[in-house]
Amino acid sequence: MKRLSRLRRHRAAGPILLVFALLTIGTTFQVAGAVTETAPSVADRSAIIEEGKQLFLKGCSSCHGLNAEGGTVAPSLIGVGAASVDFQVGTGRMPMADMSQQAMRKDPVYTPEEVNALAIYVASLAPGPEVPTDEMLNYERDGSVAEGGELFRTNCAMCHNFAAQGGALTQGKYAPTLMGVEPKHIYEAMVTGPQSMPVFSDKTLTAEEKLSIIKWIKSVEAEPQLGGAALGRVGPVTEGLLAWTLGIGLLIGVAVWLAMKAR
């Protein structure tokens, strides 16, 4: 026992334990992850639905109602589909931190497994748009970047700005920036029309066209600065600001130096 307690006090004990703990947790998750990846049988599915229901009752029902029928502050979730839940919860918009103008993207509260359970539970209430699979989201293969740009400018740029940086809507609402958003979530947003955003039906904007849009957004996101600092990619306002500050500032600075008498 004495030896153990001495070991416990060893300088390396803390770090070693930490590594050990992390390894354990990691392996557990990997195993757990492997479990969910296998096609869920009916029994598994009902278990997941049950898990989702419990999560829902704990985290969502106070606003959305015990049976997701909606309340005074939150809409009904019957028929919104798994895609909607995956988008709202997966991007951290739900649960809302405060009843402000608009739910913001933030770090998700739930783990991907929990999001999945919630989505399957809500989808079990009434059918709605499904979460797209990885196969459906292969935008590199199925999308065309130039076409995507054209579609983006026709359907999205008026709210999200020409370079997907976001923009203002009425009464303090805004279209968020699309930089750093996962392709799955972009897709789900187009299918479900979260918050102020309208729905882009598959018939008027086909699945392939949606992938093209995603491909274009990703290409803009990855596009390096071809001409120098991007100034936020919001157009002439920041350019004018720079001309009025750095531009004329440098020139007036030199002018002051020029007119100063040398000692």
Partner 1 sequence: MSNEIELIKDPGLPAHQHRRSDLDEKYAKRAENQVAILFLLSALGTLLLIVSYIFIPDDIFVFIPVMGETNVHQLLLGLGMAAALFFIGAGLIHWAKNLMPDEEVIAERHEFRSPDEDRAEFVKTVKAGAGAAALGRRPLIKRTLGLALGLSGLTPILLLRDLGPLPGDELTKTSWKKGVRLVTDPGDRPIKASDLEVGAVAQTLPELPAGEDHRSLNDIAKDAVLLIRLRPEDFNLDDERLSWTHEGIIAFSKICSHMGCAVALYEQQTKHLLCPCHQSTFDVTRAAKVIFGPAARPLPQLAITVDEEGYLIAQAPFNEPVGPSFWERSS
Partner 2 sequence: MTARERIAGNVAGYVDDRTGAAKWMKKNLTKVFPDHWSFLLGEICLYSFIILLASGTFLTFWFDPSMKEVVYDGSYEPLKGLEMSAAYASTLDISFEVRGGLLMRQIHHWAALIFMVGIVVHLLRVYFTGAFRKPREFNWIIGVGLLTLGIVEGFLGYSLPDDLLSGTGIRIAEAIIQALPVVGSYLAYFAFGGAFPGEAFIPRIYTVHVLLLPGIFLALITVHLMLVWYQKHTQFPGPGRTEKNVVGYPLMPVYMAKAGGFFFIVFGVTAFLGAVASINPIWLYGPYTPGQVSAGSQPDWYMGWLDGLVRMAPPLETHAFGYTISWNILIPGLILPGIMFTLLALYPFIESWASGDKREHHLLDRPRNAPNRTAIGAMALTFTLVALLNGGNDIIATAFHLTINQMMWFSRIAIVVLPPIAFIVTKRICLSLQRADRELVLHGRETGRLVRLPHGEFVEVHEPISPEKAWTLTSHEQLAPLELPEYDGAGVRRAGAIKNKIRNRISRANAVAVPKATESERRELEGHH
Binding region for partner 2 (CB under 8 A): 145-146, 148-150, 153-154, 157-163, 166-172, 174-175, 216, 219-220, 223, 225-231, 233-244, 246-248, 250-252, 254-256, 258-259
Query: Do the Cβ atoms of 76 and 68 come closer than 8 Å?
Result: yes
Q: Is 199 in the site for partner 1 (CB under 8 A)?
A: yes
By beta-carbon proximity to partner 2, the closer residue of 41 and 225 is 225
By beta-carbon proximity to partner 2, the closer residue of 113 and 147 is 147
Q: What is the DSSP string of 82-129?
A: HHHHHHHHHTT-SS-SS--SSPPP---SS-HHHHHHHHHHHHHHS--P
Report the residue from 196, 241, 243, 253 that binds partner 1 according to the rule CB under 8 A.
196
Query: Do the Cβ atoms of 63 and 71 come closer than 8 Å?
Result: yes
Report the residue from 155, 164, 176, 187 that binds partner 1 according to the rule CB under 8 A.
155
Q: Which stretch binds partner 1 (CB under 8 A): 24-32, 63-71, 179-187, 203-211?
A: 203-211
State the DSSP H helix or E strand holding residue 175, giving kind and residue range, or none if neither. Answer: strand 174-175
| Shortest Å, Cβ 34 to partner 2 | 38
Q: Is 72 in the site for partner 1 (CB under 8 A)?
A: no
State the DSSP H helix or E strand holding residue 211, giving kind and residue range, or none if neither. Answer: helix 207-222
* Cα 67 to the center of its chain, rounded Å: 26
Q: What is the dihedral of CA 14, 15, 20, 21, to 10 degrees?
A: 70
Alpha-carbon distance of 89 to 238, in angstroms, equals: 34
Residue 104 backbone dihedrals phi, psi, to 5 degrees = -100, 155
Partner from partner 2, partner 1, none binding residue 41, C-beta < 5-8 Å depending on class: none
Q: Which stretch binds partner 1 (CB under 8 A): 8-16, 34-42, 44-52, 145-153?
A: 145-153
Chain residues that interact with partner 1, rule: CB under 8 A = 147, 150-151, 154-155, 158-159, 167, 169-171, 173, 175, 193, 195-201, 203-206, 209, 224-230, 254, 257-258, 260-263
